[in-house]
Each structure stands twice: as structure tokens, then as C-alpha cells.
């Protein structure tokens, strides 16, 4: 149930985010979800895209350092407390969240979030056990 | 392999005898023919006849690069221009250029020492040698050219630059020996792989002679790995003759000075006093056979030390360790002396980071600060901030351990630090001191 996320190292410099997104646009890559973790010197752009391998190729050709990491896509109720419910399960089971961010689009009545924890396998088992809906890569690509 | 076994393995006693004889001769020659030396000797109250032992050289005044600039262009020449067959000149970026002239005999000496240097690392007439040092008014290209010509190797005089073509030549001609600056060698390897899809280790290269800038053991390992060759260190400077003053033998443990032509001393750069063997200091060289522009006690500004003990290769010329820094490149930050190579070594020790970096000096609040920019490599990139921060801190810690002061490390995107086809500019000083 893991999905592929592409990360890009960005210097905190004018125009770098644009350059990265331009490379993706030219390759015809569509972004499903994105977030930026930033420090004063650099940032990490994390994205879920419709074609991670193509995105990686396009970005590397444009001179960027990239990495593909596994994450999970979780469907949560689009109402107050929807995400908190999921995080409570992780908290109670001693799983740490590395990062979390939201998809641009919804899937039906559910909001989609990207989640990475210190133990992905255990997270997947737990959430499925509790009846939380996870999306595989195919479902994400077809959003 | 020996080019001139007798000269290269001359017993020490004989070598010192020969050096003394030649030193006496060159001192007298310089005194009689070059007004600059006569004036200096007279001011110091010393006559050529006062030189009775090799140790007496310490009474002779030093010659500095600034002295050479003052007599621009031909003031140091000991022979009329009609006897000069070739002229070289430094770029003069920091003042007037330094001009050196070679007589026919000086060129013969240059050919000899470069032939010895190349033969020592196994170059024969069957080799194809690509010379990617600059040729125009830079002694690197022609020095290697003369040496290779003397041996009879097949020369590809590529000169510096035009990277794509360099790689095509290596591939199509089957070049076996590469001569260039070490940073350019790394650039060639990177370019071949990334831009042309050519695996540099699959080329026919077997050895390389690299110099004209400071480099480290880590860079050597990197060059050797990427090209699958043996990489050797060459030393020389235009003021003395060009490349060929000293060269590494297959032991790769220090560079043998061709002492029958160049007399080396290592001094304390502050006091000018000779240091004992093994101590690190500034290299001072005296040309023993040069006719065009004899150099007496030239201060090279290069920091090195003699390596003690005999070399298994049998050559008797003393060895110096790889150049540890230049007094010119020496950075003084908050009163602490440091050399770029120390920082380079520290970066390379932290695994996986490509050896591309730049040192930036600033003085934001009347206090010096050092920023070291290091390119992020594919291998070390993590998509978690805390891991990148950990890498950054590891670099900072290692550099601090190496140089003794705190530095700020910034990780930058790949290929954002400029590559140079000649000498690498590692330090950018924005303190407005000079």
C-alpha cells in the first residue's frame, strides 16, 4: 500500500522552485500533492506525481538532486477531527510521524493526506486493522 | 624506470660535491652578470668567494617574487637576449608579471628533468601522452611537451580547455598518459560520465602526472578510481624552470627533487632560518645550472617538508612531501592560520560528498566568519531535514577539528560551484582586507 514520493533538494535561492516545477511541466508531469520543508539555507520539495520515474528523470536532467521515498496515502473524513483520528491511532501505538501533508484533490467525500512515519509497515497494518482507507499508487495516479 | 640512472642515483657524497661545485659557480655567475644580485650581495656584505660549503648558502639573501616583478621585464637576465631562445611570463594578476628567459642549454636541462620525471612513472616511447596543461605563456604545457619529446612518446598537445574534445581525443587516439591539473582531471571524469556517457575507467589511460595546484591524497584516490590509473604528483614553478623540479616516483611517497639542478632548503617562513629535516616550512630553491635567469635562494611560498630516509626506488635526490599550502593561499581567520587543503581533506573524510567546495570569508561584525559551501551529492541526499542537518553538522564538526575554528557549512545544489579548467579558485575573500 506504499506509494512513491519524489523529493528534491533546493537551495534557498531565488527561482529554484520555479526551475524545478518548470522541468516537471515540460516533461508533462502532473503534481497530485506537494509540500516544502524549509530551513534558512535549503528546502526539500516533496511531491506525489502521476509518474515518479519520469519526474525523477526530468529533474535530474535539469541538474537537481532527487530521491524517491515510500510514503502512504490515507483517506480521512473531510470533517473536524478527521486527521486527528488517524494520528491518535499512531500516537497510541508509539509510532512517530516524520511528516504529513495534504493532497490537492479529494477522493469522493474523503480528504487525502500523505504520511511518512518511522515504521511504515506497522503503520499500514494498524490503519488497515482500524478500517482506515489507504490508497495505492494506481488509485493516486487516477485521481 | 630510470632515464639517467647515474645522475638519479648519484651517491650522496658525490651529489653534495657536485652541488657545491655548481653552487659556487652559479653564485659567481649571478654576481658578475646580474646587477640585482651584485647589489644584494654587496648590501649583505658577502662575496661569491665566501661560499665554501653548502651550508654557507644561508648567508646569501633571499630572492622573492616581488624582487622579480621590480626588474620587469628583463632585469634578471644574465645573458643578452640573443642567447635567449624562449620566454615565459606569469599572468601578472597580482602586479607586474614575472618574466623568465631560457637559453638553449636551459631548455636542454628542462627536457632532461622532465624526461626523468616521466620515465620515472613508466612513460616510454610507446605511450600516447595527452598534455592538457596550457601551452601559451604557461610553462606547464611546454615543460611536459619537452619531456615527452625527449622520451619519444607520441604527443597529443591538446592544451587546456575544450573538455568534450579532450575526452574524444582520449577515446579515439587511445591516450595512455594524461597530464593536467588534478581538478581538471576530476572534471574530465565527471564530464565524460555525465555529459557523454563514457565510463572514464574504460579509457586506455594508465598513468597521469598532475600538478600546478594544491591537491590531496583523497583527490588522488578519487582520480585513480575514476580513471583506473596511477596518479602522480609533479612539482615545479616558472621562476625555477617550470614543471620538473620534482616528481613522485612509483612509491608515491613524496616527490624527488632533481638535486643536481635544483638545490632545496626548507626555512621558517617567519624568521628565514633553516629548519631541521622533517620540519614543515617554506621551500627555497636555487638553480644550480640555469644560465638565462639564475635563481638564488628563491622563496617559493610553498609549504612542505623533507621526507627523511632513503627511498626504496634508489634515487638519491631528497623527497619533499606534497605541497601543504602556499603562504599566499594561507588564510588568516581570527588570527588562526589555515590552508584550504585542510578543509578539503575534512570534507572528503565525511563519506560520500563530492569534492566540490568553496570557502567564503566575510567579516560581518568586525569578526571573521568562514562559510564553506559543499555540493550536495546524490549519495548523501536524504529527504528528511534532520538527516541533512546531521550531515551539515558532521561536516562542520570535522572541519572545526581540522582547522581549529568554527565554520558554517552550507549545502548547495550539485554543479553550482564553478569548475575551472586551469587552477581552482577555492577561496573567496569578501572581507575587504586586500
The model's pLDDT over B399-417, given as tens digits with 9 standing for 90+, comes to 999 888 899 999 998 877 8
Cβ separation of A44 and B388 shorter than 8 Å? yes
Q: What is the DSSP letter of B58?
A: G
Output the pLDDT for position A16.
Answer: 92
> Is pLDDT at B420 greater than 70 in this prediction?
no
Are B261 and B247 spatial neighbours (Cβ–Cβ below 8 Å)? no
Tell me the HSE value of B93 on the side-chain side, using a 13 A CA sphere.
1
CA angle B43, B291, B423 (to 5 degrees): 90
Looking at residues B103-129, what average pLDDT do you find? Answer: 98
Question: pTM above the 0.80 mark?
Answer: no
Output the pLDDT for position B328.
Answer: 66
Output the pLDDT for position B424.
Answer: 58
Looking at CA atoms only, how far is residue A76 from chain B in angstroms?
Answer: 24
Q: Could you tell me the domains of chain B?
A: 1-327 (3.40.50.12780), 331-429 (3.30.300.30)
Are A85 and A23 spatial neighbours (Cβ–Cβ below 8 Å)? no
Q: Could you tell me the domains of chain A?
A: 2-69 (3.30.2130.10), 71-141 (3.30.2130.10)
Radius of gyration of chain A (CA): 16
> Is pLDDT at B79 greater than 60 in this prediction?
yes
Cβ separation of A42 and B389 shorter than 8 Å? no
Q: Work out the pLDDT band at A44, boundaries 50, 70, 90.
A: very high
The model's pLDDT over A69-123, given as tens digits with 9 standing for 90+, comes to 999 999 998 889 989 999 999 999 999 999 999 988 777 778 999 999 999 999 9
Radius of gyration of chain B (CA): 22
> Is pLDDT at B57 greater than 90 in this prediction?
yes
The pair phi, psi for residue B369, each rounded to 5°, is -130, 145
A30/A37 Cα distance (integer angstroms): 20
Q: B360 touching A, CB under 8 A?
A: no
Of B377, B383, B413, the CB nearest to A7: B383
Give B388's contacts in chain A (Cβ within 8 Å). Answer: 9, 42, 44
Are B323 and B421 spatial neighbours (Cβ–Cβ below 8 Å)? no
Number of residues written out for chain B: 434
HEC string for B408-424: EEEEECCCCCCCCCCCC
Rounded to the nearest integer, the mean pLDDT of chain B is: 91
CA angle B38, B85, B29 (to 5 degrees): 20
Of B377, B378, B383, the CB nearest to A46: B383
Output the pLDDT for position B416.
Answer: 79
Q: For a pLDDT cut of 70, what percent of chain A falls above it?
A: 100
Output the pLDDT for position A104.
Answer: 81
Looking at CA atoms only, how far is residue A115 from chain B in angstroms?
Answer: 13
> Is pLDDT at B354 greater than 60 in this prediction?
no
Cβ separation of A44 and B378 shorter than 8 Å? no
Looking at CA atoms only, how far is residue A1 from chain B in angstroms?
Answer: 20
Cβ separation of B413 and A9 shorter than 8 Å? yes
Let me know if A102 is exposed, middle or buried by CB neighbors in 10 A (0-12, 13-18, 19+): middle
Are B55 and B265 spatial neighbours (Cβ–Cβ below 8 Å)? no
Report which listed range, B38-52, B372-386, B417-431, is most confident.
B38-52
Q: B373 touching A, CB under 8 A?
A: no
Looking at residues B275-284, what average pLDDT do you find? Answer: 88
Looking at CA atoms only, how far is residue B382 from chain A in angstroms?
Answer: 7
Residues 38-97 of A with CB under 8 A from B: 39, 41-42, 44, 46, 63-67, 69
Residues 100-139 of A with CB under 8 A from B: none
The model's pLDDT over A63-83, given as tens digits with 9 standing for 90+, comes to 899 999 999 999 998 889 989
Cβ separation of A11 and B416 shorter than 8 Å? yes
Q: B381 touching A, CB under 8 A?
A: yes
Rounded to the nearest integer, the mean pLDDT of chain A is: 91
Looking at CA atoms only, how far is residue B160 from chain A in angstroms?
Answer: 25
Output the pLDDT for position A96.
Answer: 94
Cβ separation of A41 and B410 shorter than 8 Å? yes
Q: A10 touching B, CB under 8 A?
A: yes
Place of cell 616527490: B255
Q: Work out the pLDDT band at B423, boundaries 50, 70, 90.
A: low
Output the pLDDT for position B365.
Answer: 81
Are B147 and B133 spatial neighbours (Cβ–Cβ below 8 Å)? no
Place of cell 484533490: A105
For A10, nearest residue in chain B (alpha carbons): B413
Q: B153 touching A, CB under 8 A?
A: no
Residues 189-218 of B with CB under 8 A from A: none
Pairing assessment for the beta strands B207-210 and B177-180 based on DSSP bridges: parallel
User: Rounded to 10 degrees, what is the CA torsion of B185, B189, B191, B195?
Assistant: 160
Cβ separation of B389 and A39 shorter than 8 Å? yes
> Is pLDDT at B30 greater than 90 in this prediction?
yes
Least confident span in A129-138, B94-103, B253-262, B338-347: B338-347
B301/B98 Cα distance (integer angstroms): 15
Looking at residues B168-181, what average pLDDT do you find? Answer: 97
Cβ separation of A10 and B410 shorter than 8 Å? no
Looking at residues A18-46, what average pLDDT do you find? Answer: 93
Output the pLDDT for position B234.
Answer: 98
Q: A9 touching B, CB under 8 A?
A: yes
Cβ burial B21-32 (10 Å sphere, 16+ → b, else e) = ebbbebbebbbe
Question: If we measure between CA atoms, which residue out of B173, B179, B177, B229 comes closest to residue B201?
Answer: B229
Residues 6+ apart with CB under 8 A from B426: B340, B344, B357, B358, B359
Q: B379 touching A, CB under 8 A?
A: no
Of B377, B378, B413, the CB nearest to A11: B413
Of B389, B410, B414, the CB nearest to A65: B414
Q: Work out the pLDDT band at B355, boundaries 50, 70, 90.
A: low
In this prediction, does ipTM exceed 0.85? no
B427/B338 Cα distance (integer angstroms): 12
For A44, nearest residue in chain B (alpha carbons): B383
For B408, nearest residue in chain A (alpha carbons): A41
Cβ separation of A42 and B382 shorter than 8 Å? no
Q: B393 touching A, CB under 8 A?
A: no
Let me know if B175 is exposed, middle or buried by CB neighbors in 10 A (0-12, 13-18, 19+): buried
Looking at residues B78-106, what average pLDDT do you find? Answer: 89
- Sign for the CA dihedral angle at B142, B147, B149, B150 comes to positive
Question: If we measure between CA atoms, which residue out of B350, B341, B344, B335 comes closest to residue B397?
Answer: B350
Cβ separation of A9 and B385 shorter than 8 Å? no
Are B134 and B143 spatial neighbours (Cβ–Cβ below 8 Å)? no
Cβ separation of A65 and B384 shorter than 8 Å? no
Output the pLDDT for position B277.
Answer: 86
Output the pLDDT for position B263.
Answer: 98
Of A9, A37, A46, the CB nearest to B381: A9
Cβ separation of B413 and A16 shorter than 8 Å? yes
Place of cell 658525490: B14
Amino acid at each position: 500500500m506504499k506509494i512513491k514520493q519524489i523529493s528534491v533538494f533546493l537551495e534557498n535561492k531565488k527561482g529554484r522552485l520555479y526551475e524545478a516545477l518548470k522541468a516537471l511541466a515540460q516533461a508533462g508531469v502532473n503534481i497530485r500533492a506537494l509540500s516544502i520543508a524549509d530551513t534558512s539555507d535549503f528546502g526539500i520539495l516533496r511531491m506525489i506525481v502521476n509518474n515518479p520515474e519520469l519526474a525523477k528523470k526530468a529533474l535530474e536532467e535539469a541538474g537537481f538532486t532527487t530521491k524517491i521515498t515510500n510514503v502512504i496515502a490515507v483517506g480521512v473524513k473531510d470533517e473536524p477531527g478527521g486527521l486527528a483520528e488517524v494520528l491518535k491511532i499512531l500516537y497510541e501505538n508509539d509510532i512517530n510521524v516524520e511528516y504529513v501533508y495534504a493532497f490537492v484533490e479529494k477522493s469522493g467525500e474523503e480528504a487525502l493526506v500523505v504520511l511518512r512515519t518511522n515504521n511504515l509497515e506497522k503503520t499500514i497494518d494498524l490503519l488497515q486493522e482500524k478500517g482506515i482507507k489507504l490508497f495505492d499508487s494506481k488509485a493516486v495516479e487516477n485521481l | 624506470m630510470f632515464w639517467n640512472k647515474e645522475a638519479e642515483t648519484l651517491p650522496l657524497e658525490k651529489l653534495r660535491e657536485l652541488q657545491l661545485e655548481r653552487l659556487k659557480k652559479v653564485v659567481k655567475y649571478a654576481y658578475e652578470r646580474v646587477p640585482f644580485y651584485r647589489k644584494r650581495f654587496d648590501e649583505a656584505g658577502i662575496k661569491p668567494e665566501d661560499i665554501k660549503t653548502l651550508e654557507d648558502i644561508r648567508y646569501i639573501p633571499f630572492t622573492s617574487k616581488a624582487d622579480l616583478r621590480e626588474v620587469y621585464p628583463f632585469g634578471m637576465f644574465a645573458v643578452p637576449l640573443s642567447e635567449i631562445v624562449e620566454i615565459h611570463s606569469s599572468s601578472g594578476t597580482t602586479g607586474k608579471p614575472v618574466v623568465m628567459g631560457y637559453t638553449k642549454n636551459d631548455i636542454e636541462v628542462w627536457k632532461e628533468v622532465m624526461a626523468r620525471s616521466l620515465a620515472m612513472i613508466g612513460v616510454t616511447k610507446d605511450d600516447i601522452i595527452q598534455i592538457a596543461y596550457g601551452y601559451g605563456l604557461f610553462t606547464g604545457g611546454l615543460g611536459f611537451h619537452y619531456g615527452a619529446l625527449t622520451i619519444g612518446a607520441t604527443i597529443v598537445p591538446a592544451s587546456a580547455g575544450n573538455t568534450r574534445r579532450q575526452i574524444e581525443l582520449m577515446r579515439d587516439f587511445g591516450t595512455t598518459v594524461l597530464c593536467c591539473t588534478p581538478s581538471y582531471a576530476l572534471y574530465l571524469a565527471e564530464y565524460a560520465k555525465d555529459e557523454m556517457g563514457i565510463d572514464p575507467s574504460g579509457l586506455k589511460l594508465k598513468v597521469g602526472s598532475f600538478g600546478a595546484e594544491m591537491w590531496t591524497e583523497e583527490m588522488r584516490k578519487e582520480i585513480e578510481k575514476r580513471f583506473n590509473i596511477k596518479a602522480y604528483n609533479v612539482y615545479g614553478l616558472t621562476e625555477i624552470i617550470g614543471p620538473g623540479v620534482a616528481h613522485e616516483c612509483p612509491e608515491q611517497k613524496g616527490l624527488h627533487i632533481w638535486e643536481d639542478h635544483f638545490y632545496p632548503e626548507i626555512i621558517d617562513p617567519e624568521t628565514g632560518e633553516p629548519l631541521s629535516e622533517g620540519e614543515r616550512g617554506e621551500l627555497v630553491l636555487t638553480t644550480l645550472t640555469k644560465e638565462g635567469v639564475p635563481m638564488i635562494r628563491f622563496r617559493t611560498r610553498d609549504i612542505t617538508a623533507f621526507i627523511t630516509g632513503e627511498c626504496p626506488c634508489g634515487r638519491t635526490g631528497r623527497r619533499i612531501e606534497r605541497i601543504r599550502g602556499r603562504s599566499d593561499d594561507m588564510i588568516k581567520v581570527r588570527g588562526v592560520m589555515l590552508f584550504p587543503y585542510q578543509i578539503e581533506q575534512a570534507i572528503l573524510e565525511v563519506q560520500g560528498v563530492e569534492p566540490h567546495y568553496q570557502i567564503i570569508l566575510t567579516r560581518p561584525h568586525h569578526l571573521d566568519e568562514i562559510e564553506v559551501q559543499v555540493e550536495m551529492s546524490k549519495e548523501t541526499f536524504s529527504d528528511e531535514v534532520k538527516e541533512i542537518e546531521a550531515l551539515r553538522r558532521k561536516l562542520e564538526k570535522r572541519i572545526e577539528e581540522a582547522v581549529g575554528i568554527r565554520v558554517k557549512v552550507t549545502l548547495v545544489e550539485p554543479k553550482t560551484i564553478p569548475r575551472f579548467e586551469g587552477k581552482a579558485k577555492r577561496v573567496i575573500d569578501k572581507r575587504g582586507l586586500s
